[in-house]
Structure 1
Amino acid sequence: MTSDANTKLAFHHTFGVNSIRNHITLILGMDNDQYPLRVALFTNHTKSNRVLHHIIKPKGAAPKPHSTDDEKELWETLDGMVLQWIYSTVSNDLLETIVETDTTAMATSDRLADIFQDNKNSRAVTLEQEFSHIDMTDFSSVSTYCEPLKSLADQLKNVGSPVSNSRLVLQMVSGLTDAYRGVGTIIRRAIPVLRFIV
């Protein structure tokens, strides 16, 4: 390997990442709806380490062929590191689904996208069912009741079925217990006003 290639290897940003889990703590699993969040975090991390082209094809440009064996070796080393980042940020069940020999980081990233895009509609139906049937009687306080409502609304947004603020408020009010009936009435009357404020 030439001294120039050794210099590139020695100073590439990617080699400074000791553990991807220090930068991306989210573990993506088959049963969660955090894929859009994971994509944002992972894309930003690869961009900041100058290896975004290992998971996303540059627009309008054909990939440049490696002009030397040293360039090819550097590309393969970096691709292997990005692939390891992908493997380290998914659950074991998802890892078993996406792992392949002789693959690239981009191919694996595309497989992940296919898995979560295919599941989008079925996840939206399941989340909508959960959102519509959540009730305060299952929770110890108003705040513990509101947290999962907001979380489900966020998850629905992530799968392409956003919940409007007024619908979120109406769902929250409809699930309140009798002790909060008066508050619910006040909130229902304020919803037309809230629609313009929010």
Structure 2
Amino acid sequence: MEANPPRERAFGVTNIKTHIPLILDFDDHNFDAWRELFLTRCLAFDVLEHLDGSSLPDDVNDAPWFKRDGLVKLWLYGTLTQPLFRSTFKTGGNARDIWVRIENQFQINKEARAIQLDHDLQTTEIGDRSVHDYCQTLKSISDLLSNLDAPVPDRTLVMYLLNGLNEKFDNITNVIKHKEPFSTFDDAKSMLLNEEKRLKRYQKTLATTDNASSSTVLTVSTEKTEAEVQPR
């Protein structure tokens, strides 16, 4: 017989966040990752039955079962944001009840959130942002859609990326569009970063040239003025 079985070790967990470093949040769309971590932790401590409903107390006096179930309930509540805690909390019930309420909240809103995120992805433009920040925004939205079981094909993500660029990237946009084979998102991002650097160098050179020209004009103008005031 194991000296310290997993179920007993579970009671040594004083802070569940050290084992599940995610706080479930509607805005982060991290339900799938949180669910996987939580299920894995419960499996490791041999209390998974309190989530899947495969175990029930022998009777109302089954103290060990109720203690384990209470522990899992605390784990659940300890990994929720305050708004999600308030919408999920109900007195009484067991860990399975809480688990089902959480799943239902995320499943009900899943489709609507996916539609909104897809719209955001299609309408995002670079504006005044750097290429890095722009690409990071698109990738983050794409990752959120994947978490909602609505993954965006890489080719489609590249097209969204190109559609949101402004006219200064027209040349490199045409290159990427006609590249064979079609560029991956990472390749397109790399090409855009290089183009951004080239444009910055060009602008810097142009500014230096303009300053030099202005200085020459000023010098000629000053010399002419001095020549005009010289006594004949």
TM-score, structure 1 as length reference? 0.82
Q: Percent identity?
A: 29
Is the Cα contact below 8 Å between 1:9 and 1:74 reproduced in 2? no
Shift of 1:31: 3.1
Is 1:163 aligned to residue 152 of structure 2? yes
Indicate the residue corresponding to 2:36 in structure 1: 40
- Could you tell me which amino acid in structure 1 is paired with residue 43 of structure 2? K
Shift of 1:88: 0.8
Is 1:121 aligned to residue 111 of structure 2? yes
Is the Cα contact below 8 Å between 1:13 and 1:50 reproduced in 2? no
Shift of 1:65: 5.4
Cα distance in structure 1, aligned partners of 2:169 and 2:111: 35
RMSD over equivalenced CA pairs, Å? 2.6
- Could you tell me which amino acid in structure 2 is paired with residue 146 of structure 1? C
- Could you tell me which amino acid in structure 1 is paired with residue 47 of structure 2? V
Could you tell me which of 22, 25, 30 is aligned with 2:21?
Answer: 25
Could you tell me which of 90, 101, 105 is aligned with 1:100?
Answer: 90
Number of residue-to-residue matches in the alignment: 184
Is 1:84 aligned to residue 84 of structure 2? no
Is 1:54 aligned to residue 54 of structure 2? no
Cα distance in structure 2, aligned partners of 1:122 and 1:11: 39
Could you tell me which of 132, 139, 148 is aligned with 1:143?
Answer: 132
Is the Cα contact below 8 Å between 2:7 and 2:46 reproduced in 1? no
Q: What's the secondary structure of 2:11's corresponding residue?
A: helix
Cα distance in structure 2, aligned partners of 1:94 and 1:148: 25
Higher relative contact order (CA 8 A, sep 6+): 1
**Cα deviation code 1:39-71 (max 9, x no counterpart):** 11111111122111111244xxxx4653895xx
